[in-house]
Amino acid sequence: MSVTCSICNGAVNVENEMSCDLCRGIIHTTCSNLSRLEVQCIRSKNRKLIYYCPTCNDFKLQLAKMNELSSLVSSLQEEVKALKSERVISSAATVDNIDSPIVDNVLQEMAEREKRKSNLVIFNLPEMENGSRSDQISEDVSSVRDILANLGVVVDQVHPLRLGKFDPTHLHRKRPIKITLSSSGLVSSALRESSKLKSIDKYKSIFLTNDKTPLQSSLYKAVKQQLNQRIAAAQIHLLYQNVRGLRTKTKEMYLSALSSSADLILLTETWLSDDVGDGELFDSTHGILRKDRDFAEVGKSTGGGVLLAASNNLRPFNCDVSHLSRLVPLVDVIISKCNLLSQTVHFIVLYVPPQIDNDNYEVFFESLALGLIDKKVVICGDFNCPKFNALDNTNDRRYNILCNFMNMLQLSQLNTVLNSQNKLLDLVLTNLNCNVTIERDQHPLVPEDNYHPALSFMISLTSQSTVISLAGRG
C-alpha cells in the first residue's frame, strides 16, 4: 500500500521524509515549511523538538483558544453566582424594611380578588315584594337564568344571592344579586355581551359588573365622586388616542379604563367588529358608542372604526349619522351631545382613511358642516391631512377643504403635538373660546403608535365663557 503526503497527497518515501507527532501522518520535507536546519533537528534521534503538521497546528491553536474560553466562562459563572448571592441578600433586606401590615394587605387583596374572579353582580333586577322566601329565590333563579341565556351564557345551576338586607319601607330599591359561575371566562363572556340587554325592554335598565373587593369599591367611589364634582362644575376630562387596533389589546384597554378618571374616551382606528363586545373593553361605569367599519360595504377586512366611551354620569345623546355613512362609507364618525351648565356641546370623533380620494373628502366635510351650523362642537380624530402643518400647504386640496370646513363652523385647531414625522394627523377642532395648554399624554390607554401621539384634555365651561385647557395625565 503506497503512502502519501498528508499535505500534497503525493507519494512519499517513508525513510526519507518526516512525520507529524500528533496525527502521525507522513509529510514531504518540502511541504513542511521548515528550513533545512529545522528538518535535520526533527530527524535527529535525540531531538527535543515536537513537530505538528499545519492541520494539527491549527487544531492545537483552536484547542488553546477553547481552553482559554472555558476558563473565562468558569470565571464569569463564579461572578454571576456571587452577584446572585448579593441580590438574594439585598432582596431579603428590602423585604425586611417593608412594613409587615403593608405586605399582609397586598397579599390579602390579591387573595380576595382571586376568590371573587368567578362572581358576577347584577344590578336593578326587580325584587319580588310579596311571597315566601322560596318563591323569591325561585323568581330570582328564573330571571338570572333568562338574563344569562340572552347573553349566550349556559349554566347548569345558579344560586343567586341578594346583597344587603331587605327593607320593606324602600321597595323601590332593588338589591343587587351576586352569582358564582363555573369560571372567570364565563364572567368575561357575560360582561362582553351585556350590551345586548339594552335592546330587551324588561332588562334595559339592568347592568352587570364583576365582583369588586372593598378596596376596588372604595377606589371606584372616589373616582366617581371626582367625576360628579367635575360635572357639577361643568368640567369634562377627555382622552383621545388612535389605538391602531383593539382586537389584541382588549385586556390592556379594560385595565386602563378602570384606572382612568376621564369622562370621555375617544378612540380611532379600533378595527373592531361584532365579535368583540363592549364588556371586553370597559366595565359598566361607561356607556359605549361605537361605529365599527362596515367591512362588507367598503370591501375591506380590517381597519377603521371609532369609539366613544362616556362616564355614566355624563349621559351623552347619540346623534344619527347614517346619512354621512351612506354618502362616504369609508369615513367612520360618531356625534354625541351633552348638556353642560345649560349649554349643549357636541363631541365628535372621526376617522378618515388615507386612501380616500379628495372628492369624497370634500363631500364628507361639507355634509358634516351643514349639520353642525350654529352648534358648539369639539371634534377629535385622525383627519389624514399630512400637509396640515406643512409650510407648502396652500396648494394642497385636502388642506384647503379642511380650512373651508373650519371657516364654516368658526373652528380652531388646538393640537400642537407632532408625530414621529413632525406631522399632525390627529386634530382637535372646536369653536369654543379657548385657552390652551397641550402636552403628550404620558400614560396612553394602550401602547402608542409613532404616527399618533395620545392626548388628554380638560374642558371647563362657565355660564359666561368657555375655556378649554389640554394637558397630559403625566
Domain annotation covers residue 80: yes
Domain annotation covers residue 60: yes
Looking at the structure, tell me whether residues 21 and 122 fall in a common domain. no
Looking at the structure, tell me whether residues 190 and 281 fall in a common domain. no
In total, how many domains does the chain have?
A: 3
3-state secondary structure of 5: coil
- CATH, residue 159: 3.30.70.330
Rg (CA), the chain: 37
The mean pLDDT of the chain is: 82
The predicted structure's pLDDT at residue 471: 47
Domain annotation covers residue 108: no
Domain annotation covers residue 305: yes
Specify whether the CB–CB gap between 304 and 271 falls below 8 A: yes
Looking at the structure, tell me whether residues 316 and 453 fall in a common domain. yes
Domain-ending residue, one of 167, 193, 211: 211
Q: Which residues of 393-405 are buried (b: 16+ CB within 10 A; e: fewer)?
A: beebebbbbbbeb
Looking at the structure, tell me whether residues 267 and 407 fall in a common domain. yes
| pLDDT for 305 beyond 70 | yes
The predicted structure's pLDDT at residue 346: 94
Looking at the structure, tell me whether residues 339 and 455 fall in a common domain. yes
Domain annotation covers residue 103: no
How far CA 409 is from CA of 245, 401, 403, 429, 435, in Å, comes to 31, 13, 10, 10, 19
Domain-ending residue, one of 97, 130, 165: 97
Looking at the structure, tell me whether residues 52 and 120 fall in a common domain. no
Looking at the structure, tell me whether residues 351 and 298 fall in a common domain. yes
Domain annotation covers residue 421: yes
- Does the pTM exceed 0.75? no
Mean per-residue pLDDT, 405-420: 92
Looking at the structure, tell me whether residues 299 and 410 fall in a common domain. yes
What distance in Å separates the CA atoms of residue 408 and residue 44, rounded to the nearest whole number? Answer: 107
Between 362 and 298, the more confident residue is 362
Looking at the structure, tell me whether residues 307 and 409 fall in a common domain. yes
| pLDDT for 462 beyond 60 | no
Domain annotation covers residue 463: yes
| pLDDT for 29 beyond 70 | yes
Looking at the structure, tell me whether residues 268 and 402 fall in a common domain. yes
Residue 223's domain spans which residues? 215-470
Domain-ending residue, one of 62, 97, 132: 97
Looking at the structure, tell me whether residues 355 and 460 fall in a common domain. yes
What distance in Å separates the CA atoms of residue 238 and residue 445, rounded to the nearest whole number? Answer: 12
The predicted structure's pLDDT at residue 194: 84
